[in-house]
Amino acid sequence: MNYLEAVPAIRRIDSNRNDLFAIDIVGEVNSADAENLYGLLEAACALHPRIDMLVRLTDFDTADWSETSPQTIEQGRQMALANVRRCASVGGPDWTRRIRAELQPEQELRYFPAEREAEAWEWLGAKPRKST
């Protein structure tokens, strides 16, 4: 299966807040998914100069960003540092410790185990919208 046939591993989650960028990461993430993520993040930041994020890892397997250009990765990192106020990571491995040192003093990052997802939404003052 090539990238054009694969189901995207990164999917937006609708919420009751326009300035919340919420995503679900499912299974294996490849370079095409990384490019998609950065495009979605760029669009969210264009609409709202300051955003909150929720990153939910569901059955997360691996991430292979080897074909993602270093410039794209750096642009995404800079965008997040400039625009994200709070970020809740839900489920999967706790990756927050690795990037905490890069955050600005006013940025907040918290990890929530999968069974405490409701607390993450509450911390961000948001609720997911039910899909129809």
Give the CATH number, domain containing residue 66. Answer: 3.30.750.24
Judge whether 23 lies within some domain: yes
Judge whether 100 lies within some domain: yes
Judge whether 112 lies within some domain: yes
Residues 9-16 have a mean pLDDT of 92
Instruction: Decide if 37 contacts 55 (C-beta within 8 A).
Output: no
Judge whether 3 lies within some domain: no
The model carries a pTM of: 0.87
Judge whether 106 lies within some domain: yes
Judge whether 1 lies within some domain: no
Q: What is the mean pLDDT of the chain?
A: 88
Q: Where are the alpha helices (DSSP H) in the chain?
A: 31-47, 70-83, 96-99, 117-123
CA nearest neighbour of 63 among 111, 6, 25: 25
pLDDT in tens, 39-68: 999 999 999 999 999 999 988 777 777 888
Highest mean pLDDT (candidates 10-14, 22-26, 121-125)? 121-125
Judge whether 59 lies within some domain: yes
Q: Give residue 106's domain range.
A: 10-123
Q: What is the pLDDT of residue 103?
A: 83
More confident residue, 60 or 1: 60
Helix (H, G, I), strand (E, B) or coil at 67: coil
pLDDT in tens, 77-112: 899 999 999 999 999 888 888 888 888 888 999 999
Judge whether 4 lies within some domain: no
Show Cβ contacts of residue 73 under 8 Å, excluding neighbours closer than 6 positions: 34, 65
Task: Tell me how many domains the chain contains.
Answer: 1
In the structure encoding, which two tokens stand for residue 77, read together? 């990192």
pLDDT at 132 over 70: no
